[in-house]
Amino acid sequence: MSDTHTVVLVEGASDKSAIEALAGRHGRNLAAEGISLVAMGGATNIGTYVGRFGPAGHGLRLAGLCDAGEEGDFRRSLERAGLGCDLGRSDLEALGFFVCVADLEDELIRALGTAAVERVVDAEGELSSFRTLQRQPAWRGSATHDQLRRFMGSGSGRKIRYSGLLVAALDLDRVPRPLDLLLAHLSGSRSR
């Protein structure tokens, strides 16, 4: 990390995959720009990583992406690190931390629409598996959006694989707000 000046803290590998895919679609190589993406293995680890890379650690510029349910963990850790008090959503964004409405999969499915997501699932040869999930009593009658979110979260490595595929299928003018704002924020890192 000797060439790194910015660390982007994300909950998991699927978030990292999505950011890498979006940066690639914009012709950017984040590592070459001195930006390191760190999958923390869950939002509850944010304090450890802010301590390691932030003001009390390596003193690097921090940014991040989290789910709405983990926003409080991120807020408290940033406050403990001395990066603000009583941080609201706009304060988090000013620091470079962006919140997904439910989670990244929710954001991507809404941006693409369920029909487009089903086409991606079909292209991966998993449409019959998705149809099987739809017929399960627990999911029968649920919205297709919710069924797709569940499908993405089930199966080994599926979330990681689909996050990049869904980003690849996006029109660049329909990128979910948190991803779009994060990448724009990281553009400011280029000049540092």
Q: What is the pTM of this model?
A: 0.91
**Res. 45: pLDDT tops 80:** yes
* d(C-alpha 183, C-alpha 189), whole Å: 10
Confidence of residue 1 (pLDDT cuts 50, 70, 90): low
pLDDT for the residue numbered 2? 66
* pLDDT computed for residue 191 by the predictor: 45
pLDDT, residue 192, reads 43
What are the angstrom distances between the C-alpha of 157 and each of 37, 142, 190?
Answer: 18, 24, 32
Average pLDDT of the chain is 94
The closest of 26, 57, 85, 25 to 9, measured between CA atoms, is: 57
What's the first-to-final CA gap in the chain, in angstroms? Answer: 15
Q: Is-contact 61 6, C-beta < 8 A?
A: yes
Give yes or no for a contact between 63 and 185, defined as CB atoms under 8 angstroms apart.
yes
